[in-house]
Structure 1
C-alpha cells in the first residue's frame, strides 16, 4: 500500500519551487504600491495562460498565470474542480492559491468581481489540473457521542447502529470480505455486514473476548479467545462456519489471561499469550497438544501477536512495556523462536519516530501487514506493518527495515480527540486499539476505542450523488 503525498515529477523540486514562489510574492507585497502592477481593467479581457505545478493534492501550492488579474484579493475568486479556492496573493499577471480538497475534476476558473461581489468576468484554463486524491480520516460506522450519558448500544443499519465500547480486535472473515468482526473485551462483540450495511451482535457467551482468529484448514472456522483469571479454565473456542458461527466446541487446554493469539498461515498451528506468566504457547490441532513456544521478556503484560502473511515471522507487541519484538519461525521444528526487539524502547514510553529501538511507542496494540508495491523492484519483504499506538492516539507504520513513522493522528495539538480530515494535520483519535486493512476496498478501519466508533482511512473519492448531479447538469 502506497500513500502518495505529491507527484513524483514535482516532489524533488517542491521545496525550491515553493521558496521561489514565496520570495516572489513577498517581494511583490513589499512593493505593493508599485505603479507597474495595474488594477483590474474592466475594458480589457482576462485570460489564464498557464499554471504550475500541473498536478497535486489538497493543500498543494498552485500559481496561476494570465493577464489582467488586478491586485485586489477581495475582488478575485478562484474555483478548481468546482471547489472554491483560497487565494493567498494576486499581482496582475499571476496569483498564488492553495488547492482545495476534493477538486477531482481539475478545471480552473478565475472570476473577477465588483465591489459588491458580483461577477464581472471569468476566464478558464485550457487544460485541467490533475488532482491527486490524498489519504484522509473519516467516520465509518458508529455514532460519536459528545455527552457520554447519551450513549446507545444497539443493532442496526450503518447510519443508525449506536456506538461501540471497548473495541480491541478487528478481523475480516477470510472467506467473505464483506464480513468484518470485532471483539470488545468485556463489551459487546459485533459483526459488520458490508453487503447489507448492517451491524449485528456476535454472541460468543464470554465475559471478556479478546482475539478472534481463523483455522487454516476445513471450513476456516472461527477461533475466539477468552481472557479470564483461572489456570484450569479453557480459554479458546471454535465457532463453526456451518452453524453461522453460533455453535462452538472447546479447545481443551486451560489458559489464563489470554490477550493475544494467532494462527500460522502455512502450517496452521495456534499460538496464544498468557498475561501473568509472560509466555507464548503453541497448540497443534492435529495432536491436540500444547507446549511452550517461548517466554516473553516480561510477565504480567498484555501481549498482542500478528504473523506475517508469509509465515516467516511474527510481531510480538508488548502493550504495557511499549515496544515490539520479532519472532522468527523455525520451519524445521515448526514453532516460533525467542523474540528480539525491533521497535520502541522497553519500558520507555513516548512518541518519537525513528529507526528500531530509537523510536518511542506508548501502549502499542493491534497491527496489520499491508503489501507495499514500492518494494517490488528491490525484492525482499514486501509488507509494511501498520499498528495502533493507543496512548499516543495515532496509527504508526513499521517498515521492513525497522523505521517507525506516524501515519495518522495527533493532528491539531498532538493529543487525544476526535477530528476527521488530513492524516497528520487534522485527524485525531482517542486510544485507538484495533485496526484492519480492507484489501477489496483498499482502506483501513480503525477501532477508535475511547471515541466508541470505527474510523476509516482511505483515499478521497468523488461523492457519487454530486457526480450524478454534475453529469445531468452538463447534459442540459
Structure 2
C-alpha cells in the first residue's frame, strides 16, 4: 500500500505540476519519502524508524559494514549500515568530501544522511558520539562517494497563489515571504557576517526588500515615497567602502531644463541600516550609475542616452553640483541603459538597445572613454541568437554581473571576468566572454507543447529550467551561487553547480 502511495506521489510530481512544482514541494516529497521509508521498509531489511531515542551501548563496539548508493547528485539520500549507532541524530556526524551532511535519522543499525553541496572530494566519514558528547567512533570508508555535478536552477523564496498567480509584499520566512515583482539585486555581507541580498521590488521601487540568506527571512527596509523617491530603476554600493547604497531614479524629468526640480540619485547609509534615504544629485531622469574604485561616480540619463560624471560642475544660480557630460551611448538615441563596473576597473559595461556596450576606464584621468558595441545587433534589433559579437541577439538585456573565470587566470589573460546578464524578453540568463562570445547560461531548457520556453520550472539549467522575464542578478563568489530576480514568476531563483 505504501509503495502504491509513493508511486502515485511521484507520478503527480512528474506529470501534473510542471509549472508550479518548486523546492518547497520537493522538500515535502523528501520528508514523506523518509517517513514512508522509516515506517515501512523494515520488512525488506531497510531503514527502520526508532520508537525512542537511545544512545549506543557502551558495552558493545560500533561497527560499520558499508554505505549506499556510491554515487548521486546533491540531496541524494545515503544509507550507512552497521550496528550500535544509537538513534540520537544530534550525536551522529556525517561528512562527505569534508562537508557536513545533514543527518535525517538513525535506527541504530542504519543511518540516513543527505548529500550536501560542494562535496565533490568524495571521502566519507561518520562520527558517533556518546551522551556526554565525547567521540566513541570515527569511521572512514574505503569507498568514495562520486558526486554527479550539474548546473541546477532552484527556487529560493517567493510564495505565489497558484490559482491566480498573484502575490504581494509580505515579509517572513522564505516559505511564506511574497514579492510583487522582484527587479534588481545587490549582494552584501552585513556587520554580523550575515549574507544579504537587497532587492528592488517592482520596477519603480514599491519597496526595498532585505533577503537574509543566513536567517532565511525576508523583510522590508523602506517603502516607496521616502525623501521624494519616485521611480527607482537600479541601485549600487559605493565601491571604495560599501558603506553607502545609491538609488538611481527615473524621476520623470526628461527635459534638461528641469534638472534641478527632482533628484535622480539618492543615498542611504549602512550605519542607519539603509533605512533613511537622502537626495544625492538633481538631474534628468536616470536609470543606472557606477562607482569606481577611486570613488568616481558616473550615471546616465534617458535623453540621448548620455553618460555623465557626477558632481563635477558647480551651478552658482542653483547652488548645486551638476554632472559633466561625457558621451552618448548611442548617438541621437534614447533607451533604458544600465551600467556595470568591471571588478578591475578595466571597463564599464552597459546594457541597452538590445546589446551590451563596453567603454574603457582611464584610471589616470578618471574618465570613461566613449562606448563601443561589444555584442548585439549593430542596428539595435532584437532577437535570440547565441553567437560572437554583432551576430548575437538579445531582447531587452537588463542587470548583469561579472564573475571571475579561473581558466582565464590560469591562461594569464588580462581580463579574467565573464559577464552574465538577464535577457528579459528571452527569458534566459546569457553569458558574455571578454572576447564577445555569447551563449545561453540558464533558462529556455524545455519547450512546452504550446511552444513556450518561459515558465516556472526548476531543474537542470539548460535541459529543464525556465524563467519568466528575469531582470536582476547577483553573485555569491564564496558559495559560487547566482541569485536571480525572476520578475514575472515573482520569485528569487538560484543557479549553482550541484
> Do the structures match in fold with TM over 0.5?
yes
CA contact (8 A) 1:174 1:220 kept: no
> In the superposition, relative to structure 1, how do residues 217 and 381 fare at CA in structure 2: closer, same or farther (>3 Å)?
closer
Q: CA deviation at 1:347?
A: 2.0
Q: What is aligned with 2:411?
A: 378
Q: What is aligned with 1:213?
A: 236
Q: What is aligned with 1:243?
A: 272
RMSD: 2.9
Q: CA deviation at 1:129?
A: 6.7
Q: Which secondary structure does the structure 2 equivalent of 1:374 belong to?
A: helix
Q: What is aligned with 1:19?
A: none
> In the superposition, relative to structure 1, how do residues 281 and 148 fare at CA in structure 2: closer, same or farther (>3 Å)?
farther
Name whichever of 333-342 and 226-235 sits farther off: 226-235
The alignment of Structure 1 onto Structure 2 pairs a total of residues equal to 344
Q: What is aligned with 2:146?
A: 130
Q: CA deviation at 1:210?
A: 1.6
Could you give the per-residue CA deviations for residues 242-270 of structure 1, whole angstroms, max 9, x where no partner exists? 211122332242222x1122111x21111
Does 2:186 align with 1:171?
A: yes
Q: What is aligned with 1:455?
A: 493
Give the alignment partner of residue 228 of structure 1, picking from 251, 258, 270: 251
CA contact (8 A) 2:172 2:218 kept: yes
CA distance in 2, matches of 1:55, 1:275: 54
CA contact (8 A) 2:281 2:311 kept: no
CA distance in 2, matches of 1:336, 1:342: 16
CA distance in 1, matches of 2:242, 2:182: 26
Q: Which secondary structure does the structure 2 equivalent of 1:146 belong to?
A: coil
Give the alignment partner of residue 279 of structure 1, picking from 282, 300, 306: 306
Q: CA deviation at 1:422?
A: 0.6
Give the alignment partner of residue 462 of structure 2, picking from 424, 436, 461: 424
Q: What is aligned with 1:158?
A: 174
Q: Which secondary structure does the structure 2 equivalent of 1:203 belong to?
A: strand
CA contact (8 A) 2:304 2:330 kept: no
> In the superposition, relative to structure 1, how do residues 202 and 239 fare at CA in structure 2: closer, same or farther (>3 Å)?
same
CA contact (8 A) 2:341 2:348 kept: yes
CA distance in 1, matches of 2:476, 2:345: 20
Could you give the per-residue CA deviations for residues 293-315 of structure 1, whole angstroms, max 9, x where no partner exists? 22121533000111100111011
Q: CA deviation at 1:392?
A: 0.7
CA distance in 1, matches of 2:297, 2:162: 41
Q: CA deviation at 1:152?
A: 3.5
Give the alignment partner of residue 213 of structure 2, picking from 180, 187, 194: 194
Q: Which secondary structure does the structure 1 equivalent of 2:455 belong to?
A: coil
Q: What is aligned with 1:361?
A: 394
Q: Which secondary structure does the structure 2 equivalent of 1:189 belong to?
A: strand
Q: CA deviation at 1:399?
A: 0.8
> In the superposition, relative to structure 1, how do residues 202 and 359 fare at CA in structure 2: closer, same or farther (>3 Å)?
same
CA distance in 1, matches of 2:281, 2:425: 35
Could you give the per-residue CA deviations for residues 80-132 of structure 1, whole angstroms, max 9, x where no partner exists? x9xxxxxxxxxxxxxxxxxxx99x8999xxxxxxxxxxxxxxxxxx9667333
Q: Which secondary structure does the structure 1 equivalent of 2:222 belong to?
A: coil
CA contact (8 A) 2:189 2:195 kept: no
Q: What is aligned with 1:309?
A: 343
Q: What is aligned with 2:421?
A: 387
CA distance in 2, matches of 1:213, 1:311: 15
Q: CA deviation at 1:357?
A: 0.9
> In the superposition, relative to structure 1, how do residues 241 and 314 fare at CA in structure 2: closer, same or farther (>3 Å)?
same
Q: What is aligned with 1:323?
A: 355
Name whichever of 135-144 and 238-247 sits farther off: 238-247
Name whichever of 309-318 and 189-198 sits farther off: 189-198
CA contact (8 A) 1:156 1:199 kept: yes
> In the superposition, relative to structure 1, how do residues 172 and 150 fare at CA in structure 2: closer, same or farther (>3 Å)?
closer
TM-score (norm 2): 0.64
Name whichever of 137-146 and 213-222 sits farther off: 213-222
Q: What is aligned with 1:140?
A: 156
Q: What is aligned with 1:185?
A: 203
Q: What is aligned with 1:338?
A: 370
List runs of 5+ in structure 2 lacking aligned partners.
1-69, 75-95, 97-115, 124-141, 315-320
TM-score (norm 1): 0.67
CA contact (8 A) 1:269 1:284 kept: no
Name whichever of 226-235 and 304-313 sits farther off: 226-235
> In the superposition, relative to structure 1, how do residues 332 and 453 fare at CA in structure 2: closer, same or farther (>3 Å)?
same
> In the superposition, relative to structure 1, how do residues 167 and 275 fare at CA in structure 2: closer, same or farther (>3 Å)?
farther
Q: Which secondary structure does the structure 2 equivalent of 1:260 belong to?
A: strand
> In the superposition, relative to structure 1, how do residues 396 and 335 fare at CA in structure 2: closer, same or farther (>3 Å)?
same
List runs of 5+ in structure 1 lacking aligned partners.
1-53, 59-80, 82-100, 108-125, 461-476
Q: CA deviation at 1:429?
A: 0.4
Q: CA deviation at 1:221?
A: 1.2
CA distance in 1, matches of 2:190, 2:362: 28
Could you give the per-residue CA deviations for residues 413-450 of structure 1, whole angstroms, max 9, x where no partner exists? 16211101011110000000100001232200000001
CA distance in 1, matches of 2:161, 2:471: 19
> In the superposition, relative to structure 1, how do residues 353 and 370 fare at CA in structure 2: closer, same or farther (>3 Å)?
same
CA contact (8 A) 1:143 1:161 kept: yes
CA distance in 1, matches of 2:291, 2:402: 14
CA distance in 2, matches of 1:354, 1:151: 37
CA contact (8 A) 1:317 1:324 kept: yes
Could you give the per-residue CA deviations for residues 158-178 of structure 1, whole angstroms, max 9, x where no partner exists? 11112x233221102365561
